Chain A
């Protein structure tokens, strides 16, 4: 029972979200869908096969992963910071039986749910572009949710450190956008110079992009277990750090 306290926070966020479903879905899905059209369909026609796929097929799973990242990270930066500062929602919550752990879990699981939903909608939209995911895609769903947890916790860490909204402009420009561009969504990491490749392989979105592509087309490679395990450790660590930093911020 005690582990489920965070549910009330999830429900609170869901209640607020219901009031502006449309704007939030467009905000979260607009970018990955536009990239899919511009790059996959537009640019892709002039690109020959890449790792045995058309360019559209190549980038589609990675864009699914990026939709999860954007949705989750934006929810726990701009969204959570508004609740922390302007709306004083966290203060209102912490004077009830709920504690920092519950608050962090509630926020992170909520943002991961939003990320997961964005990923699902992207996956469901792929056939419209002639990309048909394999049955293995079901195995990808828990991975996408885990990615949501990680990027949500990452965003919440930024919120715990932020002093104003400008801080998130740095986060977006210096962290999220580079992850979007350099995690192997748009180009193959396999053919890169080993040193450059090593850096890109260690970006946190890279394993999720790899796993998405693997599971989406059922081309399972042995490395998947290491990537899932490594990412899981990273996720646990980031949730823990979010709890520590938010506690430092909120409890004097």
Chain B
């Protein structure tokens, strides 16, 4: 894999950092599919320069919400303002300034890497000369310059994903919407994507990110919105939400039912939430519980770790599978 250093001086997103202005403002948004309410009266804003992680189990309503923002679905109720304009009335103007990395690979398989970008530039009516310059710049930034004339079929999964991100930046977007940007990638390819996204973030690109990889969301997001069954069930900075709603640390202990019963009693001496699931004991501590580690002295299968976004996610949306 090529890991050439990106040009840090160049402002690839082409945006000046302006924090604070709302880029996305959604109020009372609902969407019904027949009898089913997919999105149920949600409201949120995203400020300029912010990266917001949009989380939720499958079927929570994230994709529907994004589709409404993009005009791929019609809202049933509510108001949406994107980049200072009402949606859907001003969609055409607004979408000039939005970049999207869709979940499904929608690159043109018959075209080369460069042709894909040039064709996409055409959809934004970007003049040929400017499109050529931008294409060169983006291919360099995403370490794809040497694949410029390759047809898409010959690219690796990581290269395709980077090209999808490059394509989303062809119009210098003020808002970047990333729907599962690293789905199906190996760890090396994911890290490369993250590095590039972090540079974009530093340059002030406003981002809305959905992902099932919660480490990805923790790493990139300033704030998360957690959706479940069409509603926003939590919203805030990840660290703050985790410490408020989950706790400081997590002990995970495996053992027989009797052993765990006994431990559960002992653990209750410390301020902590205790959960039993699948023959495992989970202790979410609300205060320093160092002494608890002594209780586990003789045990083999246990783990002490900081509480993370995944704990929060499971706590809010449950452990059961969500399948449509």
**Residues of A near any B CB (own CB < 8 A):** 5, 8-9, 11-12, 15-16, 19-20, 87-89, 91-99, 250-252
Contact = CB atoms under 8 A, between A and B. Distances in A.
A91 B71 contact: no
Contact of B104 (A16, A91, A99, A250): A91
B122 A8 contact: yes
Given A19-B110, A91-B72, A250-B72, A8 B125 contact: yes
Contacts of B91: 97, 99
How many residues of B sit at the interface, in one of the four size bands? 20 to 34
A97 B108 contact: no
Most A-side CB within 10 Å, residue of B115, B122, B171: B122
B109 interface: yes
B11 interface: no
Interface string B99-114: 0101011111111000
Contact of B102 (A91, A97, A99, A252): A91
B74 interface: yes
Nearest to A19: B110
Contacts of B33: 252
Contacts of A19: 110-111
Given A89-B108, A94-B72, A97-B95, 11 more contacts: A8-B119, A15-B115, A87-B106, A88-B102, A88-B106, A92-B102, A95-B70, A96-B123, A97-B92, A98-B123, A252-B64
Nearest to B177: A95
B111 A15 contact: yes
A19 B116 CA distance: 14
15 contacts: A12-B122, A15-B111, A15-B115, A88-B105, A89-B108, A91-B106, A92-B106, A93-B123, A94-B70, A95-B95, A96-B171, A97-B93, A98-B123, A251-B72, A252-B67
Contacts of A87: 106, 108-109
A95 B175 CA distance: 13
Contacts of B119: 8, 11-12, 15
A235 B72 CA distance: 27
Nearest to A90: B106
Nearest to B115: A15
B197 to A, nearest CB: 18
Contacts of A250: 72
A48 B9 CA distance: 81
A107 to B, nearest CB: 14
A91 B167 CA distance: 14
Interface string B303-323: 000000000000000000000
Given A16-B110, A95-B95, A96-B95, A8 B123 contact: yes
Contacts of B44: none
Nearest to B125: A8
Interface of B: 33, 64, 67, 70-74, 91-93, 95-96, 98, 100, 102, 104-111, 115, 119-120, 122-125, 171
A128 to B, nearest CB: 32
Contact of A89 (B74, B106, B124, B125): B106
Contacts of B96: 97
Contacts of B106: 87-89, 91-92
Nearest to A252: B73
Contacts of B122: 8, 11-12
Contacts of A20: 110
A12 B108 contact: yes
A78 to B, nearest CB: 14
Most A-side CB within 10 Å, residue of B74, B93, B102, B106: B106
A12 B171 CA distance: 17
Contacts of B104: 88, 91
Nearest to B94: A97
Contacts of B108: 12, 16, 87, 89, 92
What are the 6 tightest A-B residue pairs by CB atom distance, in nearest-first order?
Answer: A92-B106, A88-B106, A96-B123, A8-B122, A252-B73, A95-B100
Most A-side CB within 10 Å, residue of B64, B92, B119: B119
A250 B111 CA distance: 24
Contacts of B74: 251-252
A119 B67 CA distance: 41
A87 B93 CA distance: 26
B73 to A, nearest CB: 4
Contacts of A97: 91-93, 95-96, 123-125
Nearest to A91: B106
B71 A94 contact: yes
Contacts of B125: 5, 8, 97
Contacts of B100: 95
Contacts of A5: 125
B95 A252 contact: no
A89 B67 CA distance: 16
A16 B106 CA distance: 15
Contacts of A89: 106, 108
Contacts of A96: 95, 120, 123-124, 171
